[in-house]
Structure 1
Amino acid sequence: MKAYLDQNPRLKQFVHWLLIPRNEARPRLWVSWLVNPFLHQRHRSSKVRASVRLDVLPFNPFSMGEHSVVESFSVVNNGVGPVRIGARCTVGIGSVVIGPVTLGNDVIMAQHVVLSGLNHGYEDVSRSIREQPVVTRPIVIEDECWIGANVVITAGVTVGRHSVVAGGSVVTRDVPPYSVVGGNPARLLKQYDPGEKAWVKPTVRV
């Protein structure tokens, strides 16, 4: 269906209008009420608080595993890429998740975290940035990670398993598994050494 619509721009534009009001990002109510609950995979024990802005559309995947929670005043948007939330995850109060984003299992996101797999094109100076195509690169947060308050993770970043991102950090490159990073831009602060069975500071900061 997607391939067929891509080959028929006018039909694609009409279908897009049926799903989303012009110049808006959130789906029409009929999509939220009558389509999304039957199309997307949400475990019955998962919770999305009433004040969450769930901008979820049928043409990209959205899923939540068991006992996961999206807390109040957050925004989740799969308009340009899938959003997959694993089991026993918490998306903290006031956070923003714009796909393509994948959270593994047992991920903790504190308050006001921004994960955006989306970037706006800007290279063509003859057109406004608003009119230029968007570019997406997936964000992956692997199992057991803790993302501190007010963190920004940029498109294309993978945070490795059981890692910690300190509050207020801006993460612009991949984080190795079993690491602690912090700062703007985030840098490696500690890493687990299986030989010493301890979290140690790197000898050379990267």
Structure 2
Amino acid sequence: MRVIDNDKIQELINSISSNDNLKEKFLKLLIDTLELRENEYHPLVFVNGSPKLGKDVFIGFFSEINAKGGEVIIGDKCDIASFVSINIADSHSRTIGLSNEIARGKIILENNVFVGSHSFIGGNVKIGHNSVVAAGTILINGGEIPPYSLIKGNPAKVYKKYYLKEG
């Protein structure tokens, strides 16, 4: 059994961190070794299918956007935190023998939507602009949610026009 020398590991990490060439080679090795998919966000963001993503969209590490076989549209200036799943597919009916198909529902996030960490957004939902999905929210078949809303909880509860400032 090999003993791990924490000092040597820290020394290696420091040398990689301070050398852009080594950092790039290490990242490529990590992507290849773990068979990660490269995308414009980060190799630790999983993008499947062809979602339509607007300008200035941020997606945090370990988040997933699955648009395979369906449609996901994310507007401009949306912020999707880490550990978020946005997934059009629902295979539970097929798995338990009630259907032969995977159900797929369209997901739309209009401009300036924030999705908090550890949230799940399933199909058949349109979230209006300037809305917030609170951390840990489970939103499935949410229908059309108006702009400036707060969506939170499991099951999700919608607080319509929560962020609308009255003049």
TM-score by length of 2: 0.67
Could you tell me which residue of structure 2 aligns to residue 180 of structure 1? 150
Q: Which has the higher contact order (CA 8 A, sep 6+)?
A: 2
Task: Give structure 1 regions of 4+ aligned residues with deviation exceeding 6 angstroms.
Answer: none
Cα 1:142–1:124 shift into 2, 3 Å = closer
Equivalent position SS for 1:70: coil
How many residue pairs were aligned? Answer: 130
Question: Which structure 1 residue ranges, 5 or more long, are not aligned?
Answer: 1-48, 56-63, 198-206
**What residue identity is the alignment partner of 1:153?**
I
Q: Do the aligned residues in 2 keep the contact of 1:162 with 1:177 (CA within 8 Å)?
A: yes
Could you tell me which residue of structure 2 aligns to residue 105 of structure 1? 76
CA distance in 2, matches of 1:54, 1:128: 33
CA distance in 2, matches of 1:192, 1:135: 33
Identical amino acids, percent of aligned pairs: 24
Q: Do the aligned residues in 1 keep the contact of 2:37 with 2:43 (CA within 8 Å)?
A: no
Cα 1:167–1:122 shift into 2, 3 Å = same
1:4-15 → structure 2 map (5 Å cutoff)? none
Asked if residue 77 in structure 1 is aligned to residue 60 in structure 2, the reply is no
CA RMSD of aligned residues (A): 2.8
Question: Which structure 2 residue ranges, 5 or more long, are not aligned?
Answer: 1-26
Could you tell me which residue of structure 2 aligns to residue 54 of structure 1? 37
Which has the larger share of helix? Answer: 2
CA distance in 1, matches of 2:41, 2:145: 24
Cα 1:84–1:192 shift into 2, 3 Å = same
CA distance in 1, matches of 2:109, 2:36: 21
Which structure: larger Rg? 2
Could you tell me which residue of structure 2 aligns to residue 29 of structure 1? none
Equivalent position SS for 2:158: strand
**What residue identity is the alignment partner of 1:54?**
R
